[in-house]
Amino acid sequence: MDNSAETTDITASSPRKHFHCYLLRSLDPQHPLKTYVGYTTDPIRRLRQHNGELKYGGAKRTARSGRPWQFAAIIDGFQDKVAAMQFEWAWQHTHRSKVFREAVGDDALAKRMKRRRGVRARFDELRVLLGECEPFNSYPLEVYFPEEESHELFCTLMPERDNKAQDIRKKVCPVDEMPFAAATDTRTKKAQKVNGSWAQMHFNLSLFPSAAPSQSRLLGQRRHQSNWALNAVTPQASHFFATSGFNQSDEKSEPEEKSEPEEEKPESPKVEAVEDSEQPAVKIPAKFKPYPFQYHQEFIVTIDALTNLGFGIARIDLDEPHDNPVADGDDSDEASNDPKKWVVFVPNVIPGESARIRIYRNYATYSDADLLEIIEASPDRIEPKCDLANICGGCQYQHITVDRQRQMKTIQVQELFERLGGLKADEFPSVLPTLGTDEVFGYRSKITPHYDAPLKKKGTKKNKDGNYKGISCEIGPIGFKEKASRRLVDVPYCHIATPDINEALARVRDETRQTAREGKLKKPTKGATLLLRDAGDGVETDHNVYVKTTVKDLVFRFKAGNFFQNNPFMLPKMVDLVVDAATIPSPSGKAMTHLIDCYCGSGLFAIGSSSSFEACVGIEVNEMAVEEARENAALNGIENCAFVSASAEAIFDPVTLEGRSDLVVGDFPKETTVVVVDPPRKGCSVEFLEQLNEYKPQRVVYMSCDPATQARDAKYLVSYGYEIVSVQPFDLFPQTRHIECLATFELKD
């Protein structure tokens, strides 16, 4: 199958290459893949690729195994690539095609046909497609068979339906008279005889009519509006058994019982398909998968909820159940298990809104759509402050009031703990309202805009050293990725960044572009990420320069490129709540005396809590961050903190910390020890959680930047005998989908 990434213009009328669909069969009886369906402009070259004779091009999967392959049939007469691609898709996915299922008269039979293997099964499907399924039954197609005996497996085609529909012809010719039989050397153009080996023959275009086939009545200028394969309905579909030679010897089945006709169900009030006539001509990407919707098919839908990525969830009723009801990657509880509901993700919407959307990508279990128009707006919808808010991937919620943003984040955390944590609402305290500050814009103290590989002028040559250093080039957009693609959006001003960063951003953008024009980029053939860190006394752009920031009268020194929380307005409140959660006396009334800070980074929580504990120990896998934590403890005159560079699992090993013979974590009193956990987005490792269970500290204070993985880990902690005391979300990054969350776990008596 040709997996070209090119975009096909379905409305153009210029001449195109000659496209064919083909059916291959494996000559290896032991190979599990018996047949293969594809489309191509050169069947013989394609066959050589399948057989591994050509080391370039497609068909790599079949070329690695299952050789040799042989043609069983070639279908000729397609108007263009789109028509061939649509036919090939319908042949490969007959069990999903509505028109195919109606043609055979039974959904279960269509699925059984797909499960059958071998050439006979594929021929039975081909007969239905050509004889019963619109628009293929009106295409001027011809079927060629390479061997005399092959055509006998192919059922007799339906007679011509009317004068408008062109007859579909079956070609059975002697080998020396078939268009595919004349072996031609592609370099010398001399005819060669190849002992009748179909795998060695070159395709001879000269034996085909020079004029392209005429447009069928379903194509023409309205080809983009034709409902091919999936959505077309044959007006009077006859039962498959009544007209075909479908051979049931491959699979015995009981006679199908006649079912009563189903009553017509009223159309769902929240989903309305927009008529095809309203859609303009579009270009269909070659890799677009047309199930269950056509490219740029439009609907009016109601938004049910939001995913944890900030996309709205809409559900569209399907005429027939689909095989995979749950959407991949959907971390909300909104993935429908109803096989007649199809999930569609839409950006820039609010739950409860009615919107007009347009499909642009189909996945195996869900679809992506663009937002075209808000039909019925939510009372919480506002005008975004940023002109780029609808396309830039940096912010997801600028169109929503801050109060509604925080309400949605609270609900999302509650649902994650119930679903991924496997907890019932009455088994743990309700999630507290999301805590935020008044600074909802201009709060972010670090941004990292990107640019792609610079563009060189046409004809630019490498320098004498064989590279592009010193060569002038141009930089395109400098900014952040789009919401639904990897393309960059040019961002000259970021509204959630601090004013000092935005002032420096204009200068950095100009300097970067000027550096590229002067040929002074360090890596002129690659894109790069810029850094702007506001440390309070200026904006730093060098990753390796040390900066300082103050949190609750404590000074922290770290490299500008290293991780440190990026909202200086929210950070003091987060530290206060961590300290409060860690220092509350145990249920037995004992004061907490020791703190272990896992994934400690530059020592923020350990140093911030040090005055409330006898001893604090931090562990971090990043050696540079550990050095910074030690320096920060010394910088603030703190002597009861020690830090070690290792993975978090090693913190419970009974070893003495470097330079601190008085601090042995294994000797800490478990009943008065609290473990603070602040892992990366992926959460805690299973090894760490198991060792935490063996150590059994009295309390675990878990800070997370991804409540989904936090809820997953909470399930482990609850199974280890801990109970959830509180769950507090933070709106650390207003206008975005990101949630910081603090959960406190106490060991049961």
DSSP state of 426: G
CB atoms inside a 10 Å sphere around CB 262 = 6
Contacts of 471 (CB under 8 A, 6+ apart): 456, 460, 462, 463, 519, 524
The secondary structure element, H or E, covering residue 673 is strand 673-677
Task: Reduce the DSSP state of residue 358 to 3 states and report it.
Answer: strand
- Mention every residue, 6+ apart, whose C-beta is less than 8 A from residue 472: 457, 516, 517, 518, 519
Percentage of the chain surpassing pLDDT 70?
68
Among 48, 100, 122, 54, which Cα is nearest to 230's? 100
Q: Which pLDDT band holds residue 467 (cuts at 50, 70, 90)?
A: low
**Domain range 421-431+568-747, its CATH number among 3.40.50.360, 3.40.640.10, 3.40.50.150, 3.40.50.450:** 3.40.50.150
- Residue 464: the pLDDT is 59
- Rounded to the nearest 5 degrees, what angle is found at the Cα of 638, between the Cα atoms of 636 and 640? 165
Is 740 among the catalytic positions?
yes
Helix (H, G, I), strand (E, B) or coil at 478: strand
* DSSP string for residues in 253-283: -PPPPP-PPPPPPPPPTT-EEPPGGGSPP-E
- Rounded to whole angstroms, the Cα distance separating 569 from 514 reads 35
80-115 pLDDT per residue, tens: 788 888 888 888 777 667 777 777 666 666 766 666
Q: Which two tokens stand for residue 425?
A: 């609402």
**Domain span(s) for CATH 3.40.50.150 in the chain:** 421-431+568-747
First to last CA, the chain: 63
How high is the mean pLDDT of the chain? 75
State how far the Cα of 211 lies from the Cα of 213, in Å rounded to an integer: 6
Minimum mean pLDDT among 176-185, 317-326, 685-694, 704-713: which range?
176-185
Class of domain 272-378: mainly beta
Percent of the chain with pLDDT over 90: 41
- Check residue 132 and give its pLDDT: 74
**One-letter-per-residue 3-state SS of 602-627:** CCHHHHHHHHHCCEEEEEECCHHHHH
- Rounded Cα distance between 295 and 370, Å, is 11
Q: The pTM is what? A: 0.64
Q: Active site residue: 134, 740, 741, 746, which one?
A: 740
Q: What string of DSSP letters covers 137-175?
A: GGS--EEE-SSTTGGGGSPPPPPP-SSSSPPPEEE---G
Among 52-56, 327-331, 694-698, name the one with the lowest average pLDDT: 327-331
Residue with tokens 């058994």, as numbered in its chain? 241
To the query of whether residue 705 is one of the catalytic residues in this protein, the response is yes
Local confidence band at 594 (pLDDT 50, 70, 90 cut-offs): very high
* Torsion angles phi and psi, residue 48, rounded to 5: -65, -35
Catalytic residue, chosen from 21, 392, 600, 705, is: 705
The predicted pLDDT at position 520 comes to 85
60 Cβ contact partners less than 8 Å away, ≥ 6 residues apart: none
Instruction: Give start-end residues of each CATH 2.40.50.140 domain in the chain.
Output: 272-378
